[in-house]
Structure 1
Amino acid sequence: MEPVTEREIRASFVNCTKGEAKRLSVPGDLSERPWDELDFLGWRDPASPQRAYLVAASGDGLVGVALRLASPHAGQPRRTMCSLCLTTHPGGGVALMTARKAGREGQQGNSVGAYLCADLACSLYLRGKKDAGPGSRLHESLTVAELADRTAVKLNSFLARVTG
């Protein structure tokens, strides 16, 4: 992913108002991010742990999506898998994140959801830059580029459900 500015990030959001985009928490370390290893920019709001944000490059520029994390289930912790990068995590390492749909459908309360790495660090997990623990990555014969391509296809599918 190419480096992006705070202004570009705020302008990219498709499922919230301009006022909401102006008020959301943008990471302060944009200049320090490993942009060449990121397929998308994702972060959790430090002031509101149930909010997360995802910004990805698209054919039309950047697409930003505001997400809400579902309340964690009570019960015995188990390993769950991210639907984007296919990394498994113990306990709360994967969360159901929902995004209000863009446009009229979102105004009517419609949303879409996906199980994603709770820290939105999918790019780093699939490149081996971050570890979710033993057995967190499936043994696959795909190259890192092929893993990144598969993740991009899954991400674009999710974004199309939000914007479409």
Structure 2
Amino acid sequence: MRPIDERTLRASFINASRKEVSDLTLPPGFADLDVSTLDYLGWVDPKLPRRSYVVTWVDDVATGVILQRAEQRVIARAQCSWCEDVTLRNDVQLYVARKAGPAGRKGDSVGTLVCAEFGCSKNVRVLPPLAYEGFDRELARDLRIVKLQEHVAAFIAAVKG
């Protein structure tokens, strides 16, 4: 992910009202954030714990969505739809985003299962276990990073409608 400033971040949200954008709380340590190891920036609003935000670069444009966390936790061990992590014991949460434009004003939304604390970028950078003799762990890790970026971009595209 490329560096982003506060003004660009606030202007990036495609499914938010001006009020929601002005009320959002920036992620902790935003000014010192190292985005070189992030495929997207995701955080939970400390003032509104059920509200979360995800921002990424899509076609060289910063694009963000506001997410609403489901009230109930996922009881069964679920797999994150973005990083597809199956080895780490991370909580996975159902997040729902209101669609952008007229569809969102009508009430349409898109949901996905994502790591509760948005740790996907860290998860995909962990070397996978050796699956068989000659297995290229570095290539597998690189492919997981690309797939994460594709999954996030597909979710953003679904929100755009």
TM tier, smaller:
0.7 to 0.9
Instruction: Check whether the contact 2:94–2:113 (CA below 8 A) recurs between aligned residues.
Output: yes
Give the distance between the partners of 1:73 and 1:138, measured in 2 at CA.
29
Matched, 1:144 2:141: yes
Give the distance between the partners of 1:139 and 1:61, measured in 2 at CA.
37
Give the distance between the partners of 1:44 and 1:139, measured in 2 at CA.
34
Query: TM-score with structure 2 length normalisation?
Result: 0.86
Any residues of structure 2 matched to 1:13-24 within 5 Å, and which?
13-24=13-24
Give the distance between the partners of 1:61 and 1:107, measured in 2 at CA.
23
Instruction: Check whether the contact 2:95–2:114 (CA below 8 A) recurs between aligned residues.
Output: yes
Equivalent pairs counted in the alignment come to 154
Task: Report what 2:71 is aligned to.
Answer: 71
Instruction: Check whether the contact 2:68–2:97 (CA below 8 A) recurs between aligned residues.
Output: yes
Matched, 1:162 2:153: no
Give the distance between the partners of 2:34 and 2:122, measured in 1 at CA.
9
Task: Report what 1:39 is aligned to.
Answer: 39
Which deviates more, 19-28 or 39-48?
Answer: 19-28
Given residue 32 of structure 1, which amino acid in structure 2 is its aligned partner? D
Query: TM-score with structure 1 length normalisation?
Result: 0.85
Partner SS state of residue 112, structure 2: strand
Given residue 53 of structure 2, which amino acid in structure 1 is its aligned partner? Y
In structure 1, the gaps of 5 or more residues are 130-136
1:31 CA drift (Å): 3.1
Q: Matched residues, percent identical?
A: 35
1:110 CA drift (Å): 0.5
Partner SS state of residue 19, structure 1: helix
Matched, 1:104 2:107: no
Give the alignment's Cα RMSD to 1 decimal.
Answer: 2.2
Give the distance between the partners of 2:141 and 2:34, measured in 1 at CA.
16
In structure 2, the gaps of 5 or more residues are 132-136
1:138 CA drift (Å): 7.7
Give the distance between the partners of 1:55 and 1:98, measured in 2 at CA.
15
Task: Report what 2:59 is aligned to.
Answer: 59
1:60 CA drift (Å): 4.9
* 4+ runs deviating over 6 angstroms: 137-140
CA deviations on 1:69-102 (whole Å, 9 max, x unpaired) are 012248xx43211000012465x71000000000
1:154 CA drift (Å): 1.0
1:34 CA drift (Å): 2.7
